[in-house]
Amino acid sequence: MSGSFLVLYIHQLLSRLCLYSTVNIMSLVTSPPGTGYNKQIHQIRKHIETQFAQAEINPSPFPHLLIENFFPEEVFASILNLNPFQIMEGEEWIKRQASKDPARLNSTPYYHRRQIHLDRHLLDLQSEPYQEFWRAIHDCFLSSDHWFENLVIQKYKIYFEIRFGDFLKDSDFLKHFKTEFFLQRHRPGYYIGPHTDVPTRVFTAIFSFADQEGFEDYGTQVCVPKNPKQRCWGNRHYDWDNFDVVKVAPYKPNNFFLFFKTRQSFHAVKTISSDVPNERYGMQFQFYEPPTGVFEDLSTPDLMKAKHHKSSQSPRVKSPNKIQRLLQKIQRS
Protein backbone atom coordinates (compact mmCIF):
# COMPACT_ATOMS: atom_id res chain seq x y z
CA MET A 1 0.00 0.00 0.00
CA SER A 2 1.57 3.30 -1.10
CA GLY A 3 2.07 6.12 1.41
CA SER A 4 -0.42 8.45 -0.29
CA PHE A 5 -3.07 5.72 -0.50
CA LEU A 6 -2.54 4.88 3.20
CA VAL A 7 -3.06 8.52 4.16
CA LEU A 8 -6.27 8.65 2.11
CA TYR A 9 -7.51 5.39 3.66
CA ILE A 10 -6.87 6.63 7.21
CA HIS A 11 -8.61 9.94 6.43
CA GLN A 12 -11.72 8.11 5.13
CA LEU A 13 -11.75 5.81 8.17
CA LEU A 14 -11.56 8.75 10.59
CA SER A 15 -14.34 10.52 8.69
CA ARG A 16 -16.59 7.49 9.09
CA LEU A 17 -15.82 7.23 12.80
CA CYS A 18 -16.57 10.93 13.22
CA LEU A 19 -19.89 10.55 11.39
CA TYR A 20 -20.76 7.51 13.53
CA SER A 21 -20.10 9.54 16.69
CA THR A 22 -22.26 12.40 15.40
CA VAL A 23 -25.12 10.04 14.52
CA ASN A 24 -25.01 8.62 18.06
CA ILE A 25 -25.13 12.14 19.51
CA MET A 26 -28.03 12.90 17.19
CA SER A 27 -30.07 9.88 18.24
CA LEU A 28 -32.24 12.02 20.53
CA VAL A 29 -33.68 14.04 17.66
CA THR A 30 -33.29 12.41 14.26
CA SER A 31 -35.77 9.55 14.14
CA PRO A 32 -38.35 9.74 11.34
CA PRO A 33 -41.57 11.58 12.22
CA GLY A 34 -43.89 9.42 14.26
CA THR A 35 -44.52 8.45 17.86
CA GLY A 36 -40.81 8.10 18.69
CA TYR A 37 -39.98 11.36 16.94
CA ASN A 38 -42.68 13.21 18.87
CA LYS A 39 -41.35 11.73 22.10
CA GLN A 40 -37.88 13.06 21.30
CA ILE A 41 -39.27 16.53 20.57
CA HIS A 42 -41.12 16.32 23.89
CA GLN A 43 -37.85 15.55 25.70
CA ILE A 44 -36.17 18.64 24.25
CA ARG A 45 -39.16 20.79 25.15
CA LYS A 46 -39.30 19.40 28.67
CA HIS A 47 -35.66 20.36 29.23
CA ILE A 48 -36.26 23.89 27.91
CA GLU A 49 -39.43 24.28 29.99
CA THR A 50 -37.46 23.37 33.11
CA GLN A 51 -34.82 25.97 32.26
CA PHE A 52 -37.52 28.59 31.64
CA ALA A 53 -39.22 27.86 34.96
CA GLN A 54 -35.98 28.46 36.85
CA ALA A 55 -35.09 31.70 35.04
CA GLU A 56 -36.10 35.12 36.35
CA ILE A 57 -37.21 38.13 34.34
CA ASN A 58 -35.00 41.16 34.92
CA PRO A 59 -37.07 44.31 34.21
CA SER A 60 -34.07 46.67 34.02
CA PRO A 61 -33.20 48.44 31.81
CA PHE A 62 -35.83 46.55 29.79
CA PRO A 63 -37.44 43.14 30.40
CA HIS A 64 -35.09 40.25 29.64
CA LEU A 65 -33.84 36.92 30.90
CA LEU A 66 -30.71 34.81 30.49
CA ILE A 67 -30.50 31.01 30.51
CA GLU A 68 -27.36 28.89 30.55
CA ASN A 69 -27.30 25.31 29.19
CA PHE A 70 -30.44 26.05 27.23
CA PHE A 71 -30.45 22.85 25.16
CA PRO A 72 -29.81 19.32 26.45
CA GLU A 73 -26.07 18.61 26.32
CA GLU A 74 -26.30 16.01 23.54
CA VAL A 75 -28.49 18.29 21.41
CA PHE A 76 -26.05 21.17 21.74
CA ALA A 77 -23.20 18.84 20.71
CA SER A 78 -25.09 18.16 17.49
CA ILE A 79 -25.74 21.89 16.99
CA LEU A 80 -21.95 22.32 16.87
CA ASN A 81 -21.14 19.17 14.90
CA LEU A 82 -23.88 19.80 12.34
CA ASN A 83 -23.33 23.52 11.87
CA PRO A 84 -25.05 24.14 8.49
CA PHE A 85 -22.58 26.91 7.66
CA GLN A 86 -20.04 24.12 7.19
CA ILE A 87 -21.86 23.07 4.02
CA MET A 88 -23.67 26.20 2.80
CA GLU A 89 -22.94 29.92 2.71
CA GLY A 90 -26.28 31.29 3.90
CA GLU A 91 -27.90 34.42 2.51
CA GLU A 92 -26.91 38.00 3.30
CA TRP A 93 -29.28 39.68 5.76
CA ILE A 94 -29.40 42.67 3.39
CA LYS A 95 -27.32 42.76 0.20
CA ARG A 96 -24.12 44.83 0.16
CA GLN A 97 -25.41 47.30 -2.44
CA ALA A 98 -28.66 47.87 -0.55
CA SER A 99 -26.79 48.20 2.76
CA LYS A 100 -24.59 50.94 1.31
CA ASP A 101 -27.50 52.88 -0.19
CA PRO A 102 -27.04 56.45 1.15
CA ALA A 103 -30.82 56.75 1.41
CA ARG A 104 -30.95 54.08 4.12
CA LEU A 105 -31.57 55.25 7.66
CA ASN A 106 -28.68 53.19 9.03
CA SER A 107 -25.14 52.42 7.87
CA THR A 108 -25.01 49.01 9.58
CA PRO A 109 -23.01 46.47 7.47
CA TYR A 110 -25.96 44.07 7.21
CA TYR A 111 -24.23 42.11 4.44
CA HIS A 112 -21.68 40.72 6.92
CA ARG A 113 -24.44 38.66 8.55
CA ARG A 114 -25.36 35.40 6.85
CA GLN A 115 -28.64 33.64 7.64
CA ILE A 116 -30.18 30.22 7.05
CA HIS A 117 -33.94 30.37 7.59
CA LEU A 118 -35.20 27.11 9.07
CA ASP A 119 -38.69 27.64 7.65
CA ARG A 120 -37.53 27.70 4.02
CA HIS A 121 -33.92 26.53 3.69
CA LEU A 122 -34.12 23.02 5.17
CA LEU A 123 -34.22 21.39 1.75
CA ASP A 124 -31.09 23.32 0.77
CA LEU A 125 -29.09 21.26 3.28
CA GLN A 126 -27.65 18.67 0.91
CA SER A 127 -26.80 16.19 3.66
CA GLU A 128 -29.26 13.84 5.32
CA PRO A 129 -27.82 14.04 8.88
CA TYR A 130 -27.90 17.86 8.74
CA GLN A 131 -31.38 17.97 7.26
CA GLU A 132 -32.85 15.49 9.77
CA PHE A 133 -31.36 17.23 12.78
CA TRP A 134 -32.42 20.75 11.81
CA ARG A 135 -35.87 19.52 10.81
CA ALA A 136 -36.25 18.36 14.41
CA ILE A 137 -35.17 21.76 15.76
CA HIS A 138 -37.57 23.42 13.32
CA ASP A 139 -40.45 21.21 14.45
CA CYS A 140 -39.63 21.83 18.10
CA PHE A 141 -40.01 25.61 17.77
CA LEU A 142 -42.13 26.26 14.67
CA SER A 143 -45.11 24.09 15.35
CA SER A 144 -48.85 24.46 14.83
CA ASP A 145 -49.37 24.36 18.61
CA HIS A 146 -47.23 27.56 19.00
CA TRP A 147 -45.35 25.89 21.84
CA PHE A 148 -42.49 28.38 22.05
CA GLU A 149 -44.65 31.50 21.72
CA ASN A 150 -46.95 30.24 24.47
CA LEU A 151 -43.96 29.40 26.67
CA VAL A 152 -42.73 33.00 26.38
CA ILE A 153 -46.21 34.46 26.93
CA GLN A 154 -46.74 32.46 30.10
CA LYS A 155 -43.31 33.47 31.39
CA TYR A 156 -44.06 37.19 31.18
CA LYS A 157 -47.81 37.42 30.64
CA ILE A 158 -48.14 40.90 32.11
CA TYR A 159 -46.12 42.35 29.20
CA PHE A 160 -48.60 40.90 26.69
CA GLU A 161 -51.59 41.99 28.79
CA ILE A 162 -50.32 45.58 28.90
CA ARG A 163 -49.36 45.72 25.23
CA PHE A 164 -52.35 43.85 23.75
CA GLY A 165 -55.08 44.12 26.42
CA ASP A 166 -58.05 41.80 26.14
CA PHE A 167 -57.04 40.89 22.59
CA LEU A 168 -54.67 38.42 24.24
CA LYS A 169 -57.77 36.36 25.17
CA ASP A 170 -58.76 35.96 21.52
CA SER A 171 -58.63 32.28 20.56
CA ASP A 172 -56.83 33.22 17.34
CA PHE A 173 -54.42 35.68 18.98
CA LEU A 174 -51.21 34.03 17.77
CA LYS A 175 -52.45 33.68 14.22
CA HIS A 176 -52.21 37.46 13.83
CA PHE A 177 -48.42 37.45 14.25
CA LYS A 178 -45.39 36.41 12.24
CA THR A 179 -42.15 34.70 13.21
CA GLU A 180 -38.61 34.58 11.87
CA PHE A 181 -36.47 31.60 12.88
CA PHE A 182 -32.98 31.42 11.47
CA LEU A 183 -29.37 30.42 12.03
CA GLN A 184 -26.82 33.19 11.76
CA ARG A 185 -23.11 33.87 11.52
CA HIS A 186 -21.31 37.21 11.49
CA ARG A 187 -18.28 37.80 9.33
CA PRO A 188 -15.43 40.00 10.62
CA GLY A 189 -16.40 43.66 10.44
CA TYR A 190 -20.04 43.16 11.36
CA TYR A 191 -21.49 45.40 14.05
CA ILE A 192 -24.83 46.92 14.91
CA GLY A 193 -25.19 50.05 17.04
CA PRO A 194 -27.68 50.63 19.85
CA HIS A 195 -31.28 50.23 18.65
CA THR A 196 -34.62 49.09 20.03
CA ASP A 197 -35.75 47.04 16.96
CA VAL A 198 -38.56 47.83 14.56
CA PRO A 199 -41.85 48.99 16.16
CA THR A 200 -43.66 45.73 15.33
CA ARG A 201 -41.19 43.50 17.21
CA VAL A 202 -42.67 41.85 20.29
CA PHE A 203 -39.81 39.68 21.55
CA THR A 204 -36.47 38.37 20.36
CA ALA A 205 -34.70 35.17 21.44
CA ILE A 206 -30.96 34.94 20.73
CA PHE A 207 -29.18 31.57 20.99
CA SER A 208 -25.38 31.58 21.32
CA PHE A 209 -23.61 28.62 19.73
CA ALA A 210 -20.02 29.40 20.68
CA ASP A 211 -17.85 26.28 20.72
CA GLN A 212 -15.49 27.61 23.40
CA GLU A 213 -15.24 30.10 26.23
CA GLY A 214 -13.34 33.38 26.03
CA PHE A 215 -15.45 35.42 23.60
CA GLU A 216 -18.25 36.49 25.93
CA ASP A 217 -17.85 40.19 25.07
CA TYR A 218 -19.09 39.51 21.54
CA GLY A 219 -22.56 38.78 22.83
CA THR A 220 -25.52 41.16 22.81
CA GLN A 221 -24.84 44.42 24.63
CA VAL A 222 -27.58 45.90 26.80
CA CYS A 223 -27.40 49.69 26.48
CA VAL A 224 -28.90 52.72 28.20
CA PRO A 225 -28.89 56.31 26.89
CA LYS A 226 -26.64 58.70 28.79
CA ASN A 227 -29.62 61.04 28.71
CA PRO A 228 -32.16 59.07 30.81
CA LYS A 229 -35.07 60.78 29.09
CA GLN A 230 -34.24 59.49 25.60
CA ARG A 231 -36.40 56.77 24.04
CA CYS A 232 -36.97 55.35 20.55
CA TRP A 233 -40.00 53.74 18.91
CA GLY A 234 -37.66 51.86 16.60
CA ASN A 235 -36.12 51.72 13.11
CA ARG A 236 -32.98 53.79 13.76
CA HIS A 237 -29.54 52.57 14.87
CA TYR A 238 -27.34 54.91 16.91
CA ASP A 239 -23.67 55.46 17.73
CA TRP A 240 -22.28 54.20 21.04
CA ASP A 241 -21.12 57.70 22.03
CA ASN A 242 -24.42 58.58 23.68
CA PHE A 243 -24.95 55.20 25.37
CA ASP A 244 -23.51 53.17 28.22
CA VAL A 245 -23.19 49.40 27.96
CA VAL A 246 -24.52 48.15 31.30
CA LYS A 247 -24.56 44.42 30.61
CA VAL A 248 -23.60 41.85 27.99
CA ALA A 249 -25.60 38.71 27.26
CA PRO A 250 -22.46 36.64 26.74
CA TYR A 251 -21.54 34.86 23.55
CA LYS A 252 -20.65 31.53 25.09
CA PRO A 253 -21.63 27.88 24.58
CA ASN A 254 -25.33 27.04 24.82
CA ASN A 255 -26.40 30.45 26.13
CA PHE A 256 -29.86 31.98 25.61
CA PHE A 257 -31.00 35.60 25.78
CA LEU A 258 -34.65 36.67 25.58
CA PHE A 259 -35.81 40.28 25.62
CA PHE A 260 -39.03 42.17 25.02
CA LYS A 261 -39.46 45.17 22.75
CA THR A 262 -39.90 48.50 24.53
CA ARG A 263 -39.00 52.11 23.72
CA GLN A 264 -35.88 51.63 25.87
CA SER A 265 -34.79 48.15 24.69
CA PHE A 266 -31.51 49.47 23.28
CA HIS A 267 -29.12 46.67 22.42
CA ALA A 268 -26.06 46.33 20.20
CA VAL A 269 -23.21 44.09 19.03
CA LYS A 270 -19.64 45.36 18.92
CA THR A 271 -17.47 44.89 15.83
CA ILE A 272 -16.72 41.21 15.22
CA SER A 273 -13.01 40.49 14.94
CA SER A 274 -11.40 37.78 12.82
CA ASP A 275 -10.46 35.67 15.85
CA VAL A 276 -14.07 35.01 16.94
CA PRO A 277 -14.55 31.27 16.32
CA ASN A 278 -17.24 30.08 13.90
CA GLU A 279 -18.00 33.73 13.02
CA ARG A 280 -20.29 34.22 16.01
CA TYR A 281 -22.50 31.25 15.10
CA GLY A 282 -25.97 31.36 16.64
CA MET A 283 -29.71 31.43 16.07
CA GLN A 284 -32.63 33.84 16.48
CA PHE A 285 -36.35 33.50 17.03
CA GLN A 286 -38.14 36.80 16.32
CA PHE A 287 -41.83 37.41 17.03
CA TYR A 288 -43.59 40.30 15.28
CA GLU A 289 -46.86 42.07 14.81
CA PRO A 290 -47.88 42.28 11.12
CA PRO A 291 -46.13 45.02 9.06
CA THR A 292 -48.55 47.82 9.99
CA GLY A 293 -49.31 46.54 13.49
CA VAL A 294 -52.01 44.26 14.82
CA PHE A 295 -54.23 47.23 15.73
CA GLU A 296 -55.54 50.22 13.81
CA ASP A 297 -53.91 53.29 15.33
CA LEU A 298 -56.38 56.20 15.22
CA SER A 299 -53.83 58.94 15.87
CA THR A 300 -50.81 57.85 13.80
CA PRO A 301 -51.80 55.18 11.25
CA ASP A 302 -48.18 54.47 10.19
CA LEU A 303 -46.73 54.43 13.72
CA MET A 304 -45.88 50.72 13.57
CA LYS A 305 -44.58 50.71 10.02
CA ALA A 306 -40.92 49.76 9.64
CA LYS A 307 -38.96 52.53 7.96
CA HIS A 308 -35.66 51.70 6.30
CA HIS A 309 -35.05 54.79 4.20
CA LYS A 310 -34.74 58.48 4.88
CA SER A 311 -37.63 60.73 3.91
CA SER A 312 -37.05 62.33 0.53
CA GLN A 313 -37.89 65.72 2.00
CA SER A 314 -38.13 66.71 5.64
CA PRO A 315 -40.99 68.83 7.02
CA ARG A 316 -38.53 71.69 7.62
CA VAL A 317 -37.82 71.84 3.90
CA LYS A 318 -41.46 71.63 2.90
CA SER A 319 -42.69 74.43 5.13
CA PRO A 320 -40.78 77.32 3.45
CA ASN A 321 -42.04 76.12 0.07
CA LYS A 322 -45.60 76.34 1.29
CA ILE A 323 -44.97 79.87 2.60
CA GLN A 324 -43.37 80.88 -0.69
CA ARG A 325 -46.35 79.59 -2.66
CA LEU A 326 -48.72 81.48 -0.36
CA LEU A 327 -46.71 84.73 -0.83
CA GLN A 328 -46.69 84.26 -4.60
CA LYS A 329 -50.46 83.77 -4.57
CA ILE A 330 -50.91 86.98 -2.54
CA GLN A 331 -48.67 88.90 -4.94
CA ARG A 332 -50.62 87.70 -7.96
CA SER A 333 -53.98 88.71 -6.47
9-34 pLDDT, tens digit per residue, is 333 444 443 443 444 444 444 445 56
Beta strands at 64-67 and 253-260: parallel, antiparallel or unpaired: antiparallel
d(CA 155, CA 284): 18
pLDDT, average across residues 278-306: 94
Residue 90 scores a pLDDT above 70 = yes
pLDDT, average across residues 117-121: 91
> What pLDDT does 5 receive?
36
Residue 261 scores a pLDDT above 70 = yes
pLDDT band at 161 (very low <50, low <70, confident <90, very high): very high
Nearest alpha carbon to residue 282 among 14, 90, 50? 90
Whole-number average pLDDT of the chain: 86
pLDDT, average across residues 241-260: 98
Residue 169 scores a pLDDT above 80 = yes
pLDDT band at 36 (very low <50, low <70, confident <90, very high): confident
Nearby residues of 240 by Cβ (< 8 Å), 6 or more positions away? 193, 194, 223, 268
Helix and strand numbers (H, E) in the chain are 8, 11
> What pLDDT does 20 receive?
38
279 vs 317: which has the higher pLDDT: 279
pLDDT, average across residues 246-268: 98
> What pLDDT does 220 receive?
98
Q: Is 75 helix (H, G, I), strand (E, B) or coil?
A: helix
Nearby residues of 205 by Cβ (< 8 Å), 6 or more positions away? 148, 152, 256, 257, 258, 284, 285, 286
> What pLDDT does 3 receive?
43
pLDDT band at 332 (very low <50, low <70, confident <90, very high): low
- Render the burial of 284-293: b for 16+ CB within 10 Å, e for the rest: ebbbbbeebb
> What pLDDT does 152 receive?
98
pLDDT band at 108 (very low <50, low <70, confident <90, very high): confident
CA dihedral for 77, 80, 86, 88, sign (positive or negative): positive
Question: What is the biggest distance separating any 2 CA atoms in the chain, rounded to whole angstroms?
Answer: 104
Sheet of strand 91-92: strand arrangement? 64-67, 253-260, 201-209, 282-288, 178-186, 113-117, 91-92
Predicted model pTM: 0.82
Residue 153 scores a pLDDT above 90 = yes
> What pLDDT does 283 receive?
98
pLDDT band at 101 (very low <50, low <70, confident <90, very high): low
Residue 195 scores a pLDDT above 80 = yes
pLDDT, average across residues 291-296: 94
